[in-house]
Amino acid sequence: MKNLLIGAALCALAWSGPALADDLEEEAARFGIRATVLSVSLSPSGEKIAFISSGPEHSEVLNVVDLAGDGQVRVVTRNSEQNGDLTRCEWATDTRLVCQLYGIGKGGGLLLGFTRMFAIDYDGQNGQLLTERASPVRCGLRSMEDRWSRWKSTANRAAF
C-alpha cells in the first residue's frame, strides 16, 4: 500500500509538470540559448583567466580576469562576424593569448570551412594575424589540387 501511495504521488508530480511549464515561446527561447561561457584558459602563472563568453546576436567576447589584481572582468576583443566563431584562446605567455577563429566562406560556389589564428595581448593591444587570410585557394582547393598532381605523377611513374 505504501509503495502504491508513493507511486501515485510521483505520477501526480510528473503529471503536473506540463501544467507548470512556461508557454511555447519561452521554452523555445530557453532551448535556443547559447552557453554563457564557451572556453576558459588559465595563464601559466595562474594569475589570469581568459574566457570566451557569448555576446548578443551570435557574437563572442574574449574576457580576461586578473586574479592577482582587482579581479574585474575586462573585455579584450569581440567577434561579431556572423560567419565566424571565436572558438578558443590559450595563453602563450602571461601577457599574450593565441586565439582561434572558425569560419565559413564561399569559394568556387562552395561553402568552405577555415580557421584563423591570431595573437593578442591580454589588454587588447598588439593584435597580430598568425595565419593567412581566407581565399578559395587557401581554404583547401589549392592543397587538394597539389595532392592530386603529386599523386598523379607518382602513379604514372609507378605504372611505367
Q: Do 94 and 136 fall within a single domain?
A: yes
Q: Under a CB-based contact definition with an 8 Å cutoff, are residues 52 and 37 in contact?
A: yes
- Domain hosting residue 91, numbered range: 35-159
53-90 pLDDT, tens digit each: 988 888 899 999 999 999 999 999 998 888 889 999 99
129-146 pLDDT, tens digit each: 998 765 555 544 444 444
Q: Do 14 and 93 fall within a single domain?
A: no
CA distance 70 to 99: 24
Q: Do 101 and 137 fall within a single domain?
A: yes
Q: Do 83 and 101 fall within a single domain?
A: yes
Q: How many domains does the chain have?
A: 2
Q: Do 9 and 42 fall within a single domain?
A: no
35-57 pLDDT, tens digit each: 788 899 999 999 999 999 988 88
Q: Do 57 and 123 fall within a single domain?
A: yes
Q: Do 15 and 93 fall within a single domain?
A: no
Q: Do 142 and 89 fall within a single domain?
A: yes
Query: Is residue 23 over pLDDT 90?
Result: no
Q: Do 88 and 111 fall within a single domain?
A: yes
